[in-house]
């Protein structure tokens, strides 16, 4: 969006001329361009196919005569939009595999007849900074209580995604794009 706003400031003369030809206010045209750019960027973020964009625009109340040129413009510029979105988003490591091992300490000099379980995990993730997606290994050593807490947190997050409110938000976000 910052890139777009900078381009709009650079092209104020072009926008002013276009607004004069269309007989609308400059602020109205600028707002319309902002809305269109956000619509196209959100569609590219969600990797929408043109048919999905058309149905989203129609469901949002956009007239059919306007939907077709918008979808055509999106289709023609889809690769550029996707590239801009890819460059502007945070690159997060991607999960590849996980190996785990259970270790048990069966006692020590001071504590006899005790069992202390420990879980050692090796995570392989792709490094988004490297061009050939090298895998990076990370080791995580945790006790059983911590592992149970992580598992419960992930299950709670998964259940939260299945709630009515989360589904409604996802639907609304997909309509924007």
Give CA–CA dist 36/74, Å, rounded: 10
pLDDT, one tens digit per residue, over 65-104 is: 888 999 999 999 888 888 888 777 777 788 889 999 998 8
How many whole angstroms separate alpha carbon 14 and alpha carbon 37? Answer: 17
Per the structure block, which two tokens stand in for 49? 């196919």
Residue with tokens 């319309």: 32
Instruction: Collect the ranges in the chain with pLDDT lower than 50.
Output: 177
Cα–Cα distance measured from residue 171 to residue 55, given in angstroms and rounded to the nearest whole number:
13
- pLDDT computed for residue 158 by the predictor: 85
CA 33 to chain centre: 23
Pairing of strands 94-105, 135-143: unpaired
């Amino acid at each position: 969006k910052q890139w777009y706003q900078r381009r709009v400031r650079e092209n104020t003369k072009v926008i002013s001329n276009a607004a004069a030809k269309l007989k609308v206010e400059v602020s109205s045209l600028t707002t319309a361009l902002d809305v269109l750019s956000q619509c196209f960027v959100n569609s590219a973020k969600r990797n929408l196919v043109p048919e999905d964009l058309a149905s989203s625009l129609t469901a949002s109340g956009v007239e059919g005569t306007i939907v077709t040129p918008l979808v055509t413009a999106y289709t023609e510029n889809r690769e550029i939009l996707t590239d801009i979105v890819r460059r502007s988003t945070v690159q997060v490591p991607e999960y590849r595999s996980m190996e785990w091992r259970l270790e048990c300490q069966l006692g020590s000099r001071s504590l006899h007849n005790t069992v202390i379980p420990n879980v050692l995990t090796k995570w392989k993730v792709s490094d988004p900074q490297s061009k050939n997606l090298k895998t990076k290994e990370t080791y995580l050593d945790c006790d059983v209580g911590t592992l149970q807490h992580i598992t419960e947190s992930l299950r709670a997050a998964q259940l939260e995604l299945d709630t009515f409110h989360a589904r409604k938000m996802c639907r609304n976000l997909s309509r924007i794009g």
